[in-house]
Amino acid sequence: MTEHDPELKFPTNIENKIKEIQKDLLVDEDIIYQIVGELIAGKNILLMGPVGSGKTALSKKISEILWRDDEFAGFLSKPFTAHSEWTIADVIGGIAPKISEDKSGKVQFTYKPGCVVETVSDNWMNGDSELKQRNFVNSKGKKYRGTWLLIDEFNRANIDKSFGEMFTAMEYNKLRISDNKNNISTRELRIPKNYRIIGTLNSTDKHFLTELSNALKRRFAMVEISYPTYEEKYRELYHVVKSSVKNLNIPKIEESLDKDEQMYLINKNDELDRIVENLYTVMFFVRQMKPLGTSLLISILRGVLATQKLRNISNNEVLLDKIFDDCLKSHLIPQFEDLKTKQLELLNYFFSKKKLSSYRNRFGSDEQYDQYEEEFRNIMNFTAKINGVKIAEIRKKIKHVSLDKKETESGEDFSKRQKDEKAAIRDTFDSYWKGNNPALPIVTAKITEMNKDRGNLVDQEYDETENIE
């Protein structure tokens, strides 16, 4: 006999189920174990991470896969997206107008459940916990143990205005709601013991993180998901390419995927290799300033591949580079709106193919080094990773380089030292594209426009500067 209100049990065969999740998502098994452990311990979950890091997809897979067995397909994850206008009516429920279904067309006022009440009710037969009969949800031909609530973009809602009553309900495991069916004003709805809420929020919203109430922190475990490291490059690219070609029917590209090792194989497709390498290099540089997840790479590459196939383009680097440039503008530029002006200046150098050594020459004088230290640290980390050197070596080279004339220095000595130190800067920075990058005039023009809109630059500052010789 099935328990009418069972606790959330330990998943069976969890190792294989985690591997199943990892076939589609690049997520560390330790993160999955941490989330499952907190869920079993009775906590709800707040998944924090950058845009496109797979928080929503991971939430659904954890609920639907890990508690799956021969009889049930885990828990159905029912998604709702929070927004700034959310109130208690959106979370718990409230009285709302409704047009009568009869011929009169009169406006009636009826109770409309919020996302918590709706998903809790789904777990009980006829939405009534007093019957003490669980409702095993059927959806798309699958039978689920119950329904969980997934709140996307949790940080958009006003916590106090929206969730105060929910926290109280969670404390006592029951909700007090209006009743449309019985001749009573309210009734009690018990929260099932194995019911959970998973929320997602962008970790870049620092203000929201500092404003989290103690009530929320007591009831939700916060788990952070980051973007993959540089050392995971070819595993990330495997997932990027695999997801990008889905339903596009491009079998030649799939030859570049090692499905056993879940790795992208370089040198299997020269045209694809060039685009994929350039895309990763762009994203890795941008990640020094703003954390962005794998989904953004997938969106960009999928757009490139779909357009390439649509236009039947092959062996046309110029046109393919323009498509790449267009896709970067569509998907990446919107992520730059909240960047600092100094970061936009640096991105302009990067995307316009100006040498980063020229950036050091322009902004790295002794007086300005402290002002631009964060940007130089980003350059150093990027350069060190792609060239396989220690960041300390690069820091040592550029930290003490002075392009200003010393009082005790003769003109001849200054010229010689300046030439040597410029060469050191050039050698340190100039290999980042490996001579393989496309020109990105569309993205560059958009970044230039963004800078001009801020009123901080004049036209000639974005003229092509001569590389340091």
Q: What is the pLDDT of residues 402-443, one digit of tens each?
A: 556 566 767 777 677 667 666 665 665 555 545 545 678 999
Angstrom CA distances, 154 to 45, 83, 86, 98, 374, stand at 11, 8, 10, 28, 30
Residue 456: other Cβ atoms inside 10 A: 12
| Per-residue pLDDT, 1 | 37
Decide: residue 383, CB within 10 A, 0-12 exposed, 13-18 middle, 19+ buried. buried
Q: Above 60 in pLDDT, residue 183?
A: no
The DSSP symbol for 11 reads P
Residue 159: other Cβ atoms inside 10 A: 18
pTM over 0.95: no
CB 403 within 8 A of CB 450: no
Strands 107-113 and 93-99: antiparallel
**More confident position, 81 or 373:** 81
- pLDDT tier, 257 (very low <50, low <70, confident <90, very high otherwise): confident
**R_g over Cα of the chain:** 28
Q: Which of 219, 192, 58 is nearest to 137 (CA)?
A: 192
> Where in the chain are all domains bearing CATH 3.40.50.300?
14-87+118-224
Q: Which of 118, 110, 129 is nearest to 91 (CA)?
A: 118
> In whole angstroms, what is the distance from residue 215 CA to residue 89 CA?
19
- pLDDT tier, 466 (very low <50, low <70, confident <90, very high otherwise): very low
Helix (H) or strand (E) holding 174: strand 174-178
Q: Interior CA angle at 168 toward 108 and 128, to 5°?
A: 50
| Per-residue pLDDT, 455 | 77
User: pLDDT > 90: what percent of the chain?
Assistant: 40
Encode pLDDT of 269-283 as tens digits: 788 888 999 999 999
Q: Above 90 in pLDDT, residue 115?
A: yes
User: pLDDT > 70: what percent of the chain?
Assistant: 80
**More confident position, 179 or 291:** 291
**More confident position, 29 or 219:** 29
Strands (DSSP E) contained in 207-317 are: 220-224, 257-258, 263-264
| Window from 90-94, 138-142, 393-397 with minimum mean pLDDT | 393-397
| Per-residue pLDDT, 395 | 67
Encode pLDDT of 130-147 as tens digits: 777 888 888 888 899 999
> In whole angstroms, what is the distance from residue 271 CA to residue 267 CA?
9
Strands (DSSP E) contained in 267-334 are: none
> In whole angstroms, what is the distance from residue 453 CA to residue 469 CA?
33
3-state SS class at 441: helix
**More confident position, 184 or 380:** 380
Q: Which of 382, 375, 26, 30 is nearest to 230 (CA)?
A: 382
CB 196 within 8 A of CB 39: yes
**More confident position, 105 or 11:** 11
Fold of 14-87+118-224: Rossmann fold (3.40.50)
Encode pLDDT of 5-47 as tens digits: 889 999 999 999 999 999 999 999 999 999 999 999 999 999 9
> In whole angstroms, what is the distance from residue 155 CA to residue 212 CA?
9
Encode pLDDT of 310-346 as tens digits: 998 877 888 999 999 999 999 999 999 989 988 998 8
Rounded mean pLDDT, 103-119: 81
Q: In the structure encoding, which two tokens stand for residue 366, read together?
A: 């002794």
Q: Which amino acid does the sequence have at 381?
A: N
Residue 185: other Cβ atoms inside 10 A: 8
**Where do the H-state alpha helices sit in 71-158?**
88-91, 115-122
Q: What's the mean per-residue pLDDT of the chain?
A: 82
3-state SS class at 6: coil
Q: Which of 177, 180, 122 is nearest to 150 (CA)?
A: 122
3-state SS class at 206: helix
Q: Which of 82, 333, 334 is nearest to 208 (CA)?
A: 82
